[in-house]
Amino acid sequence: MSGMLSELQYLRMHGCGNDYVFLDCFRNRAPEDPAGLSRYVSDRHRAVGSDGLVLMLPSDVPGAVARMRMFNADGSEGSLCGNALRCMAMWLHQSGRAEALFQIVMAERLIGVQIVESDADWRRAVVRIDVGRPAVLSTDPGVRCCVREQTLADVQVPGLVGSPLHVSLGNPHTVFFVQSIPAVPFELLGPRIERHAAFPDRTNVEFVEISGLSAANAATVRVWERGSGETLACGSGACAVAVAAVAAGHLHSRLPISVQMTGGLLRVLMSEDLELQLEGMAEECCRGTVLWPRHTAD
């Protein structure tokens, strides 16, 4: 075997600590093996370190400013990533490629974007994105149609409140309401549930404490992300938690729902027809060059 090195210019951005390596594919050619590159750059000891890789591409869809492709740390491609979308939206706006209202396409879905606040000097912004409606999973009325009770008889979750609820936002989420997140053996249960036989395509896992039906209308969440392990935040996970919490009667849909994740606060807004919006910070933290070792057969 012989090898060669490619030098790739990157940006590293995060939404509430959920961080990705971003490649500007407007000016540079997209990598031929993004899955392999994602596995490489995500290594926090031998490369840049991230929860995955994002390709920022020119749009091939009328009405959209750009296309986004996101790859998890294990190389699997994601179908929705609220935090990465907000980061890319900030970059598009601050680099002059988009105004304050525009659309990004991801996995054939047009996603509306609003730049709520922008500070180009500090390369950070508050961004709101249109996540859309959750998938219909049952014939129940109202928001209950968007959840499915999920029985996992061989999984014991300490302090479980009610049944786990499964929600699909184009990617799968399984939400566990618990009395105490610290009492949950997170590192054991996260990967076990992700790869449980009940989920042939695996699932994202959220453990949730509810603050109660108060003016706060808030939940505290710890996330095990499909394909990446524990992440400090998950945008689609925040939306899934909001849907499940309203369906279970823990929170109100008519008020903004505050979702406190390990890395920061996200807000979810739900309309009467179940359209979801996600709002939160996006920040750029560094730029640089990563050496990408490519191996070829002699």
**118 and 21 within one domain:** yes
Residue 214 confidence (pLDDT) above 50: yes
**260 and 194 within one domain:** yes
**155 and 261 within one domain:** yes
- Tell me: the pLDDT tens digits for 46-66? 999 999 999 999 999 999 999
The reply to whether 137 falls in a domain is no
Instruction: Report the CATH number at residue 254.
Output: 3.10.310.10
Instruction: Report the catalytic residues.
Output: 81, 234
Residue 114 confidence (pLDDT) above 70: yes
**226 and 252 within one domain:** yes
**What pLDDT does 169 receive?**
95
Average pLDDT over residues 106-132: 97
**226 and 127 within one domain:** no
Domain count within the chain: 2
- Tell me: the pLDDT tens digits for 65-80? 999 999 999 999 999 9
Average pLDDT over residues 82-98: 98
* 73 close to 227: Cβ distance less than 8 angstroms: yes
**What pLDDT does 295 receive?**
56
Domain that holds residue 151: 142-274
- Tell me: the pLDDT tens digits for 225-240? 999 999 999 999 999 9
The reply to whether 9 falls in a domain is yes
**260 and 155 within one domain:** yes
270 — pLDDT class (breaks 50, 70, 90): very high
**173 and 118 within one domain:** no
